[in-house]
Each structure stands twice: as C-alpha cells, then as structure tokens.
Amino acid sequence: MNNLLWLIPALPLAGFLILVAAGKHLSNKLVALTGVGSISLAAVVTIIVGFNFLSSPPEGGAYAQTLWTWMDVAGFSPKIALSLDSLSLVFIFVITFIGSLIHIYSAGFMAADKDYSRFFACMNLFVFSMLVLVLADNLLLMYLGWEGVGLCSYLLIGFWYENPANGYAARKAFVITRIGDTAMALGLFTIYYQFGTLVMSEITATAPSVWQSNSSIATVTALLLLAGGMGKSAQLPLQTWLPDAMAGPSPVSALIHAATMVTAGVYLIARMHVLFELSATAQMIVAVVGAVTLLVAGFSALTQYDIKRVLAYSTISQIGYMFLALGVGAWTAAIFHFMAHAFFKALLFLAAGAIIEALGHEHSMFKMGGLKDKMPVVFWTFLIGAASLSALPLVSAGFYSKDQILWYAWASDKGSPLLWLTAFLGAFTTAAYTTRMMILTFLGDSKTGIGHHPGKLMTIPLIVLAFFSVVAGFIELPHNFGHFTLFSDLLHGVLPSTVLRADESSEWKFQLLAFVATFGGIYLVFIYYYREPYKIERLRESPSFQWLYRFWHGGWGFDRLFDLVFVTPFVFLAKINKRDVVDRFYEGIASVTNHLYRLLSATQTGSLRWYIMGMVIGAIIILGLQIML
Amino acid sequence: MNSSVSTEIVMLLAGLLFVLGITGVVIRKNIIFMLLSVEIMLNASGLAFIAAGARWGQPDGQVMFIFILAMAAAEVSIGLALILQIYHQHKSLDIDKLREMNG
Amino acid sequence: MDIAFYITAAVTLISTGMVITRHNPVHALLYLVISLLSLAMIFFLLGAAFAALLEIIIYAGAIMVLFIFVIMLLNLGEETAAQEKKWLKTRIWIGPAIMAGVLLFELCYLISSSDAVLYDQPNVGPRPVALALFREYLIGVELAAMLLMAAMVGAAHIGRHKKMVLHRFLKEKEIQ
C-alpha cells in the first residue's frame, strides 16, 4: 500500500492541470468538484498510506519511492524521489486533511467570484508544491516545492489583482521570501560542496562524522538554512510580508499563511536537525529568533484593528514558539505545536473569513461587534479556536502544545530562564490579544448589518476543525496528567528526544504559571475592553501610550526601517542612474555617427554638376600629387 | 620621313579636347549637351590611345579605341533611353531641376 | 604634312568649342559631326586608317543618328516644324560646311600625295589590329559583347513608354 505514495502529490497536480487546461469551459460545479475532489482523494490516500505506515513500519523508519532520475550531470544525479517517514507523515496529513477542509470551505466562500477556476487551480498547485516540499527525499526536490509554494503564495495573495495594493502585497511577499530563499540556496550549495550529495538521509547520516561539533562550517550552513526558514516562516527580521499577505482571500490565508506554507521553515529545521545539533551557536540563534519574534509579533497583534492582521501577527508569534522549541531542542514539541496551530489557526482564519464575508468585506474589528447571537456557529467555533490559541488550560489543543514548549524552554539543556520568560510573556500577550479580538468581534453592540449567512459548505469545515482543535491536544499529554506520548513516540524515529537539565517533578509549577499567564491576559483585557471600557479610553489619551500604540500597530517600524535602509537608497541609486552611465558611451557613438551622417548628407545636393566638379577636382588633385611626388 | 609634329603635340590636342568635354559637362544645363560632351571626352581619350599606338607602331592603341567605341555605343544607347524617360516623366531636360536625389 | 595636322587640329578644336557653346542641340550635333570627321582625319594622319574608318562609320554615322533621333523624338508637333525652318538657314549650316570643305580638301590632298603619315613607324593596318583583338584581347572582346548586350536590353527596358512612375518614398512625400 505504501507504493500509493506518489498518488498523494499527483492528484493535486492532476487537478491543477485539468483546471488550467479546461477551467474556463467547466461549470462552477465541475470546477469545485475537480478542485475539492483532487485534494480530498489525496487526503483519503494519505490516510490509507498513513495507516499502512503505522501498522507495519518500514525498515529504518522511512519508506522511499524513486520515481525517476531528474537529471544526471557529471555525477550529480538528483532523483525525483519521495520519502515517507513519521515527520513527513504528520505534515502530509495536515496538508491534505486541512487542505481539503479549506477547499470545501472555498467552494462556498468563492462561489461568487468570477475567477473561480483560477482560484482552485492555484490552490491545487499550492497543495502539490507543498506535498513535494515535505515528501522530497533530497534537498533539490524540496527546493522545487519550496519555490513552488512561494509562487503560489504570490499568485494567491495577488488573487484580486485589480486592486494595486494587493499586487504590491504579493510582490512584497515574493521579494522578501526570496531573500531567505537565496540564503537557503547558498546553504544547499555548501551542503553539496561538503557532502557531495543532496539526499537528506545521507546528509543526516554522515554529517556528524564529516563535520566537527561547533565547527564554523556547520554553523554557517545551519544559519543559511535558518535564513531560508526565516523568510518562508516570517520570522524576524523577514516577517514584514505576512501581515500584508492578508490581502489574499481568507481561505488562502488559512491554508498558506497559517496552516502549511509558513511552517515550511519549521519543517526544514526539523528535517535538518542534525546540522543544527552540530552547532550550538546556530541552535541558540534559532531559539533567540523565535523568542524575539513571538514577543514582537504578539505586541503588534495587540494593537491591530483588522481582524485578519491580528491573526497574521498571531501566526508569526506562534511560529516564533515553534522556532523557540526547535532552538531548545524540543523537536517533537515544535511539530506538535505546528499541528495544533494548523488546526486552530485555519479555523480562526476561516471563521474570520466567514465574518468578513457576512459583513460585506468589513475587516475592521471596531466595526464588528455583537455577532455572538447573529452567527452562533461561527461564534462557537471561533471561541474554540481562540481558546486553543490562547492556550486555555486542559480543554484546548493549544494548551498542551504550548505548555510543552514553555516547559522545555526552561528545562531543556539548551533552554534558559530568559527564553522561558519571553515565552511566558508571549503566552500572556497571546491570551490578551485573543480575548480582545473575541470581545471586539462578538460582544458589545452590533455596528454593521449582516449580509448573508455562511452556507453549509462553509460551516461544516469550521465544525470539523473546531473538533480537531480540541481533540488534537489529547494525543500528547504532560507526564503529570496522563503522560500520554503518542505523538512524540511517533516522531522519535526521526527526531531525537529532548535532553533535560531540570527534574520533571517541577513541571507542575510551570504549568501553574502558564495558567496564570493565560487567565491574567484574559482577565486584564476583559476588564479593560468589556467591563470598564473607560479605562482603555483614558489610556488611549496619554501621548506615550499613543506613540507605543502606533509603534506596535506599524509592526515595530520594520517596514519603515527597511524602506529607510534598503528601499530608499536603492530607489535613489536607480534614480541617479536613470540614464545609465554605461549607455552614455554607446549613445555618444551613435550621436557622433549621426552628426557625421548629417554632415555627409549635406554634400548630397542632388545636383549632378556638383558631383562632376567633385570628381574633376579629385582627379586634378590626384594627378597633381602624382606629378609633384 | 621626319616630322616636327611630336607625340606630345597630339597628346596636347587630346588633352585640350578632354578639357573642352569636361567644360561642356560642367557648364551646360541640358542633359543632351552633357551627353555630347561626354562623347567628346571619350573621343579625346581615343585619340590619346591612337597616338600612343602610332608612336610605338603597336596595334594595342587601336584595339583600345575599338573598345572605347563599343563602350561609347553602349553608353549612348542607355543614356539616350534615360533622357527619353526623364523627359517623359519630368517634361524637362534641365539638370538643375532634376535633383530629387538630394540627401 | 605638319601643316595638314595643324589645320585639322584647329578644325577639331574650333568645332568642339562650337559644340559646347551652341544653344540648339541640332546645331551642336552638326559641329560634333565635324569634330568627329576631323578626328578621323587625325587618325588617318597618325597612320590608323582603320580607326579613322570606324570613327566615321560608328561615331559620325550610327551614334550621331541616334542623337538626332532622340532630339527629334523630344520635339514633336508643329513647333518642331517651325523650328526646322529656322535651322536650315544658311547662317546655321555655313560654318560646319566650311570646315567640312577644309577637311575634304585636306583628304583629297593627302590621298593624292605619296607620304600621308606623320611618323616613321610603319602603318598599323587592320590585320595586326584584328590579330591582337582576337588573340590577346579575346576576353576584352567577350566583355564588350556582354556590355553591348546589356546595353541593348537596358535601353529597350528603360526606353519603354510608361506612365509617370514615382518611387513609393517620393509618393509619400507628395501626399504629405
């Protein structure tokens, strides 16, 4: 049954090809059937393959399927080969399962759009690229998928291209992620130069013997890969594209910019964990990047008024948690948080999309409000998602995954109190902005009338995702309640377990502190925004708070900084060199020729007499010279 | 027999004829006159060949003259055809009016 | 003999000078014929009797006839007839006639006298010329034949009566 593996990426590709070739001639129903059907079939195949994989694990924990040789140049012969192990199994499960739910949702959400088939074609291509990314057995094929998802992200952010701002957001995302991609390509060159192969299993097997621990080459390579991950996963300082990427349709934000593509960086680092383990510096940088990002993005999320931008910043923040986990060596915790996050963030984005659609494309939370009774299904599912995001203890998936990260940030041998403190503050912030979003959107007075309610196509995926947002947490429980480790056991074939420096017995103290952080955040915002709103009004009037508000709202001024440091000098240089310096030389040649031509053409009077005179004078000169010399 | 007429004198005559031909080409406006002047120039050069051939008692001078004749015949036929055509198209043989090919 | 040469040379120069100064093309042609005849005389004096014959037959005969034809073609209608009368005035033809008479007299004298050649060199008769032409200069003959052929085709093509044809560039110019 494992040999059905190739079908998983092939089905979305087939869907994409059909939609590209014939999408314009198909009815909307057929388009939706193709788009949704291909992903759903892929999900079914994934479940079959996954079940088979789990019931009879292949030797070495990985199943490889070589389809054909991509190219063969001077000993460099990358294969189009798929490799399935437990890590990629988790990823393809999330991609196809959540992907198919989001596709079903999109069939309802995009129903009125004139570019229905283009949307599904791009989405199918995205799922295909993402599956290639996680199933690739060598880094080159993975890079193909990596660039493929970047392309689809660009296409889908700029999906409503009539608005120039959307095109700008798409270009911004493309260019900024390209910075990371370039670094990653350099990393691949280094790896190939050092190992002579790009097959991941060979690299991870030979790296410890080829490279010494903490050697500079290992650090550099790991950092180059990290830069690639930072670009794709919107980590500091390459995070500025993700909030703008919300210009795309909501299902796109849910699938690409929350559940799957932005976590490609997490996948890359987890997949290449051997390289990172070889360099303590690189791994510490991963942790620091994640920690700083989660705080920066968390505070920014507190001040946004566009509901999707809140979710975008929270995505950056949550991926920051994953990076933090990777940095402290809590590999399985990072992947666990990835999975939980994929469920609840997709849910939140889809619910937000339903709200925005119902209110007639209203993004501002301050114009929402009072939707609790008007859209009960959306409210309850959103509430479950929000609870999971703010890590509401015991009942949400987010709690179990985030609690694990918090614990490892302290207790891992690479963790430190400072990292734990940032994560703790982040948890507090997360709870605060989530509650703020809930209150502004669903409580209070209604400010905008509801257009049409979301149909069944849209609500069913919400309910399914809400269910998983709760249940997904229970497959991995902390040792002090239940000690159920299904998920980490699954992944231990691929990822090493975390080395602890502290005693497990103190874990309950940190869990208690996490309770406090979550409830503190919720309580504080509840007081300020709901119970006693005049307090927040008073706070808003103080100038220092206003400055802070603007600073956070603008994403800590990173856009301004990049404009100042990169864009302005570049534009300035381009402006002064508008008339290319090198061109001056060639234009000079052209103008000299032109002038000479004018000079000569003046002698062409058309008068035969002048020509004859010229000839006679010439003959006289020649004869005269001959006589004289 | 001896003669005081040296080849130089004949050559001088040929040169004078040639200069007369050139003068004709340059000073006349009518194309027919220009063509006539060209004929004079050809004749002058023919004279120079004949004189040189006679001086050395070689047939080559006359051979060249025959070639010049052939060339002159060709040139005149083409030239006259062109004159006819120019007259038909422009209703004028004034060379100063036929200056459409100015640069 | 010298005196004959100088007289002929004078006739040549005068008639040629008249050619390039006439206003009427037919008058100019009359003088050109005299010029060609006197040149033929000089050729004869130089011992190139064959060349002199060719000069008269081809130049004064064929080529001049061509010129006259063309001039006639270009002056059609009654105007021409009126002009014809003017041309045939005595004043017009007396000059060429006198010069022709001089040449005729010279010719008669030269033919009757025994030593009709300027130089000591033996005469170059038609025989060595023909031998040289068809031996050393055979290629030249072939080329001259091709040239004449091309000239004939070209003249036939160019001389066709056509409506006024403008090149497309000139047409565009005119439209503008």
A320 — alpha (psi -120 to 50), left (phi > 0) or beta? alpha
Report yes or no on B20 lying in a domain.
Answer: yes
Q: Which of B1, B36, B39 sits opposite C115 (nearest CB)?
A: B1
The answer to whether A607 contacts B25, with C-beta atoms less than 8 Å apart, is no
Report yes or no on C96 lying in a domain.
Answer: yes
Residues of chain B found within 8 Å of residue C174, distances taken between Cβ atoms: none
Mean pLDDT per 10-residue section of chain A, whose length is 629 residues: 81 89 82 87 89 81 81 80 85 89 86 83 90 88 90 88 86 88 90 84 82 82 88 83 84 84 87 84 87 87 85 89 87 86 88 84 76 80 86 78 82 81 87 85 75 79 86 76 72 75 74 82 80 72 76 76 82 82 87 92 80 87 89
Report yes or no on B33 lying in a domain.
Answer: yes
Integer distance in angstroms from the first to the last C-alpha of chain B?
59
Sign for the CA dihedral angle at A571, A573, A579, A585 comes to negative
pLDDT-based confidence at residue C83 (cuts at 50, 70, 90): low
Alpha-carbon span A338 to A90, nearest angstrom: 10
- The residue behind tokens 């309950």 is A508
Residues of chain A found within 8 Å of residue B34, distances taken between Cβ atoms: 608
The answer to whether B100 contacts A606, with C-beta atoms less than 8 Å apart, is yes
Q: Which of B5, B17, B91 to mutate to test the interface with C (most CBs of C within 10 A)?
A: B5
Q: Which of C20, C42, C74 sits opposite B33 (nearest CB)?
A: C20
Q: Which of C39, C121, C149 to mutate to test the interface with B (most CBs of B within 10 A)?
A: C39
Query: Is it the case that chain C and chain A have 3 or more CB pairs lying under 8 Å apart?
Result: no
Q: How far is A619 from chain B (nearest CA, A)?
A: 12
Collapsing DSSP to helix, strand or coil, B29 comes out as: coil
Alpha-carbon span A528 to A533, nearest angstrom: 5
Report yes or no on C149 lying in a domain.
Answer: no
Q: Which of B57, B59, B82 sits opposite C129 (nearest CB)?
A: B59
The tens digit of pLDDT for each residue in B20-45 reads 998 888 888 888 888 899 999 999 99
Q: How far is C90 from chain B (nearest CA, A)?
A: 23
Question: What tokens appear for B18 in the block?
Answer: 């040639």
The answer to whether B99 contacts A606, with C-beta atoms less than 8 Å apart, is yes
Decide which of C130 and A214 is more confident.
C130
Helical packing angle, B31-56 and C64-74, nearest 10°: 180
Residues of chain B found within 8 Å of residue C117, distances taken between Cβ atoms: 1
Look at residue A542 in the predicted model and tell me its pLDDT. Answer: 76
Query: Is it the case that chain C and chain B have 3 or more CB pairs lying under 8 Å apart?
Result: yes
The answer to whether A604 contacts B98, with C-beta atoms less than 8 Å apart, is no
b/e C74-112 (16+ beta carbons within 10 angstroms → b): eeeeeeeeeeeeeeeeeebeebbeebbebbeebbeebee
**A499 inside 8 A of chain B by CB:** no
Closest CA to A453 of A529, A371, A536: A371
Closest CA to A100 of A260, A232, A248: A260
pLDDT-based confidence at residue C35 (cuts at 50, 70, 90): very high
Helix (H) or strand (E) holding A64: strand A62-69
b/e B46-84 (16+ beta carbons within 10 angstroms → b): bbbbbbbbbbeebbbbbbbbbbbbbbbbbbbbbbbbbbb
Using a CB cutoff of 8 Å and minimum separation of 24, what contacts does A93-97 make?
A: A93/A46, A93/A47, A93/A50, A94/A259, A94/A260, A94/A338, A94/A339, A94/A342, A95/A127, A95/A130, A95/A131, A95/A134, A95/A259, A95/A260, A96/A8, A96/A39, A96/A42, A96/A43, A96/A46, A96/A127, A96/A131, A97/A43, A97/A46
Residue of C nearest to B29 (CA): C23
Residues 563-622 of A with CB under 8 A from B: 600-609, 612-613, 616
Q: How far is C148 from chain B (nearest CA, A)?
A: 5
pLDDT-based confidence at residue C173 (cuts at 50, 70, 90): low
Q: Which of C25, C118, C154 sits opposite B3 (nearest CB)?
A: C118
- The residue behind tokens 């001639």 is A25
Question: Do A73 and A429 touch, CB atoms closer than 8 A?
Answer: no
Alpha-carbon span A149 to A159, nearest angstrom: 15
> Partners of A364 in the beta sheet?
A306
Alpha-carbon span A434 to A451, nearest angstrom: 25
Collapsing DSSP to helix, strand or coil, A81 comes out as: strand
Look at residue B70 in the predicted model and tell me its pLDDT. Answer: 92
Other C-beta atoms within 10 Å of A427: how many? 29
Q: Which of A605, A613, A616 sits opposite B99 (nearest CB)?
A: A605
**pLDDT over threshold 80, residue C118:** no
Segments forming the whole domain that contains residue B83: 8-90
Question: What tokens appear for A611 in the block?
Answer: 């020509």
Q: How far is C102 from chain B (nearest CA, A)?
A: 19
Alpha-carbon span A232 to A9, nearest angstrom: 21
Q: How far is B34 from chain C (nearest CA, A)?
A: 9
Look at residue C116 in the predicted model and tell me its pLDDT. Answer: 54
- How many contacts does A have with B, using Cβ atoms within 8 A? 33
Q: Which of A600, A602, A612 sits opposite B26 (nearest CB)?
A: A612
Q: Which of A598, A612, A620 to mutate to test the interface with B (most CBs of B within 10 A)?
A: A612
Q: Which of A600, A605, A616 sits opposite B22 (nearest CB)?
A: A616
Question: What tokens appear for C25 in the block?
Answer: 């093309």
Provide the CATH number for the domain around residue C119: 1.20.120.1200
Per the prediction, chain C carries an average pLDDT of: 79
Report yes or no on B95 lying in a domain.
Answer: no
Query: In whole angstroms, how far apart are CA C61 and each of A313, A568, B77, C5, C37?
Result: 107, 89, 14, 23, 10
Which value does ipTM take for this structure?
0.88
Degrees to nearest 5, angle at CA A281 with A275 and A285: 95
Report yes or no on B2 lying in a domain.
Answer: no
Alpha-carbon span A128 to A97, nearest angstrom: 13
Instruction: Give the distance, in angstroms, between the CA of residue A223 and the centroid of all CA atoms in the same chain.
Output: 18
> Partners of A203 in the beta sheet?
none
Closest CA to A422 of A503, A309, A517, A511: A517
> Partners of B57 in the beta sheet?
none
Question: Do A87 and A93 touch, CB atoms closer than 8 A?
Answer: no
Provide the CATH number for the domain around residue B20: 1.10.287.3510
Cis peptide before A237 (omega within 30 of 0): yes
Look at residue C117 in the predicted model and tell me its pLDDT. Answer: 56
Look at residue B74 in the predicted model and tell me its pLDDT. Answer: 92
Q: Which of C119, C120, C147, C149 to mutate to test the interface with B (most CBs of B within 10 A)?
A: C119
The answer to whether A608 contacts B100, with C-beta atoms less than 8 Å apart, is no
Query: In whole angstroms, how far apart are CA B50 and each of C45, C50, C142?
Result: 11, 11, 22
Spell out the domain ranges in chain A: 332-541, 579-628
pLDDT-based confidence at residue C148 (cuts at 50, 70, 90): very high
Residues of chain A found within 8 Å of residue B101, distances taken between Cβ atoms: 604, 606
Look at residue A83 in the predicted model and tell me its pLDDT. Answer: 85
Look at residue B49 in the predicted model and tell me its pLDDT. Answer: 93
The answer to whether B66 contacts C17, with C-beta atoms less than 8 Å apart, is no
Alpha-carbon span A8 to C36, nearest angstrom: 103
Look at residue B2 in the predicted model and tell me its pLDDT. Answer: 45
Question: What tokens appear for A531 in the block?
Answer: 């119970």
Q: Which of B22, B96, B103 sits opposite A604 (nearest CB)?
A: B103
Kindly list the partner chains of chain B, i.e. chains with 3 or more CB atom pairs below 8 Å.
Answer: A, C
Helix (H) or strand (E) holding A80: strand A79-85
Q: Which of A601, A608, A611, A613 to mutate to test the interface with B (most CBs of B within 10 A)?
A: A608
Degrees to nearest 5, angle at CA A604 with A601 and A610: 145
Collapsing DSSP to helix, strand or coil, A83 comes out as: strand
**C159 inside 8 A of chain B by CB:** yes
Other C-beta atoms within 10 Å of C61: how many? 14
Residues of chain C found within 8 Å of residue B80, distances taken between Cβ atoms: 66-67, 70, 155, 159
The answer to whether A608 contacts B22, with C-beta atoms less than 8 Å apart, is no
Question: Do A270 and A87 touch, CB atoms closer than 8 A?
Answer: yes
Question: Do A390 and A437 touch, CB atoms closer than 8 A?
Answer: no
Least confident of A59-63, A195-199, B63-67, C49-53: A59-63
pLDDT-based confidence at residue B72 (cuts at 50, 70, 90): very high
- How many contacts does B have with C, using Cβ atoms within 8 A? 186
Report yes or no on C115 lying in a domain.
Answer: yes
Sign for the CA dihedral angle at A610, A611, A613, A617 comes to positive
Could you give the number of structural domains in chain C? Answer: 1
Length of chain C (residues): 176
Report yes or no on B96 lying in a domain.
Answer: no
Residues 6+ apart with CB under 8 A from A347: A381, A382, A384, A385, A462, A465, A466, A469
Report yes or no on B58 lying in a domain.
Answer: yes
The answer to whether C158 contacts B81, with C-beta atoms less than 8 Å apart, is yes
- The residue behind tokens 């004929």 is B39
Alpha-carbon span A239 to C57, nearest angstrom: 102
Closest CA to A130 of A95, A93, A100: A95
**pLDDT over threshold 70, residue C85:** no
Kindly list the partner chains of chain A, i.e. chains with 3 or more CB atom pairs below 8 Å.
Answer: B
Report yes or no on C134 lying in a domain.
Answer: no
Helical packing angle, A216-232 and A139-157, nearest 10°: 30
- The residue behind tokens 């060979």 is A202
Look at residue B14 in the predicted model and tell me its pLDDT. Answer: 92
Report yes or no on B100 lying in a domain.
Answer: no
Query: In whole angstroms, how far apart are CA A510 and each of A106, A397, A408, A481, C165?
Result: 41, 18, 10, 14, 102
The answer to whether A605 contacts B102, with C-beta atoms less than 8 Å apart, is yes
Alpha-carbon span C6 to C2, nearest angstrom: 6
pLDDT-based confidence at residue C144 (cuts at 50, 70, 90): very high
Residues 6+ apart with CB under 8 A from A339: A90, A94, A401, A472, A487
Closest CA to A45 of A117, A106, A97, A105: A97
The answer to whether A606 contacts B26, with C-beta atoms less than 8 Å apart, is no
Question: Do A411 and A480 touch, CB atoms closer than 8 A?
Answer: no
**Which amino acid is located at B4 in the chain?**
S
Alpha-carbon span A309 to B6, nearest angstrom: 113
Report yes or no on B49 lying in a domain.
Answer: yes
Look at residue B46 in the predicted model and tell me its pLDDT. Answer: 93
**pLDDT over threshold 70, residue B1:** no
Closest CA to A517 of A426, A434, A435, A438: A426
**C12 inside 8 A of chain B by CB:** yes
Question: Do A322 and A290 touch, CB atoms closer than 8 A?
Answer: yes
Could you give the number of structural domains in chain B? Answer: 1
Residues of chain C found within 8 Å of residue B77, distances taken between Cβ atoms: 66, 151-152, 154-155
